[in-house]
Amino acid sequence: MAADTEFYDLLGVASNASDQELKSAYRKKAMQYHPDRNPGDAEAEAKFKALGEAYECLKDPQKRAAYDQYGKAAFEGGMGGGPGGPGGFSDIGDIFDTIFGGGGFGGQQRRGPARGADLRYDMEISLEDAFHGKSTEIDIDVSVVCDTCGGTGAEPGTSTRMCNLCSGTGKIRAQQGFFVVERTCPNCHGRGEVIESPCRTCGGEGRIDKTQTLKVDIPPGVDNGTRIRLSGKGEAGPHGASPGDLYIFIHIAKHALFEREGTALFTQVPISITTAALGGEIRIPGLDGDESVIRIPAGIQSGKQLHQRGAGMPVLQGRGRGDLVVQIDVETPTRLSSRQKELLREFQETETGDESPQSKGFFNRVKDFLG
């Protein structure tokens, strides 16, 4: 049977790609299909999720080794008999045990419950907050260590005993053809010990649900999709296992004046035809409280972009700032007084065509075309 290369094909790399090549390919593809760049595009969103799944697998040496040998079936319990069944694996650890010699990756014995789950929290902040950074607090419902039993899952004053089914190893080993397959013990669920008197508060889980208030420090320069990791603030692990992590995903609210791309700030400014013709200056309020004075050269055209260096967003975890980019929109007046119309007619009578070289050039080409 041909090797499964779906994950590599998704990322557009060869099956022997280096870690750096995997990372570069993922970043490029993820940026292309990111939901923020493709709003309302269900196909792009599905592709973005598939790319994340592929990269999460291939960036981990253990998971990549399992995928290279067994394909996606390594993670779906599809090795002949389904999860826990004949020829099947109960979890990814069983596959690693088979590949790397029955003791987990590197020969270390896997025992005990898995760590708690990682959690995601989506936070919307203003562009001003992204510029300055901020400290805030969030309330989140999460599983925490049970205070009554201290995370053991056993009623206070009682103890646990060794699991008789697996003899305390947390694993059940079986011979399947050429393979020796280890499955998590169904009696103790990998702990190697059994609770005889479960804690009445948590029911033997060693954790309870609780609302926690957490402090979040947002650094200056964060952008849409920036991920802030709070180590150990995810779900508490069962029976005293280590907790997962909490990931804060940042979303920047739409701003009334500016649009952002990386560290650059963009704004579109309408100016009068007199300012466009004669030149002048405009003042743009900055997110830092200072004004940027933008000088308008005489004869500027609509669509021209003027740059003010160092007036954009700060570099995340770095030094310096991006640029402020001002796009000029020359506005044709729509409400003129009689005197203004009179002045414009006088100007029109004195026009030679040299004042507007683009218009003059166009109509000369029209004349040439008509012969």
CA distance 57 to 157: 43
Q: What is the DSSP string of 137-194?
A: EEEEEEEEE-TTTTTS-BPTT--EEE-TTTTTSSEEEEEETTEEEEEE-TTTTTSSEE
pLDDT at 300: 94
Instruction: Consult the annotation and say whether 149 binds a ligand.
Output: yes
Is 199 assigned a ligand-binding role in the annotation? yes
Burial group, residue 157, by CB count within 10 angstroms (0-12, 13-18, 19+): exposed
CATH of 262-370, one of 1.10.10.10, 2.60.260.20, 3.40.50.1580, 2.60.40.290: 2.60.260.20
324: helix, coil or strand? strand
Per-residue pLDDT of the chain (371 residues; tens, 9 = 90+): 446 788 889 999 988 888 888 888 888 888 888 877 788 888 888 888 888 888 888 888 778 877 887 777 666 544 433 333 333 344 444 444 444 444 444 434 444 457 888 999 999 999 999 999 999 999 999 989 999 988 888 889 888 888 888 888 888 887 666 677 788 888 887 778 888 888 888 888 888 999 999 999 999 999 998 999 999 999 998 877 889 999 999 999 999 999 999 999 999 999 999 999 999 999 999 999 999 999 999 999 999 999 999 999 999 988 899 999 999 999 999 889 999 999 999 998 998 878 777 777 777 787 888 87
Query: In sequence order, which ranges of 246-355 are alpha helices (DSSP H)?
Result: 273-278, 338-350
Q: How far apart are CA 72 and CA 127, in angstroms?
A: 41
Sequence-separated (6 or more) residues with CB below 8 Å from residue 80: 86, 87, 88, 176
CB 142 within 8 A of CB 208: no
- 202 annotated as belonging to a binding site for a ligand: yes
Which residues have a Cβ under 8 Å from the Cβ of 286 and sit 6 or more positions away? Answer: 292, 311, 324
The pLDDT score that the predictor gives to residue 329 is: 95
225/34 Cα distance (integer angstroms): 9
111-151+202-254, what's its fold?
A: HSP40/DNAj peptide-binding domain (2.60.260)
**Distance from C-alpha of 74 to C-alpha of 58, rounded to nearest angstrom:** 13
57 is annotated as contributing to ligand binding: no
Q: What are the residue ranges of CATH 2.60.260.20 in the chain?
A: 111-151+202-254, 262-370
Residue 185 is labelled as binding a ligand? yes
Apex 155 CA angle, 153 and 161, nearest 5: 70
**For residues 150 and 239, is the Cβ–Cβ distance under 8 A?**
no
Query: Cα(96)–Cα(180) distance, rounded to whole angstroms?
Result: 12
Report pLDDT for 74: 63
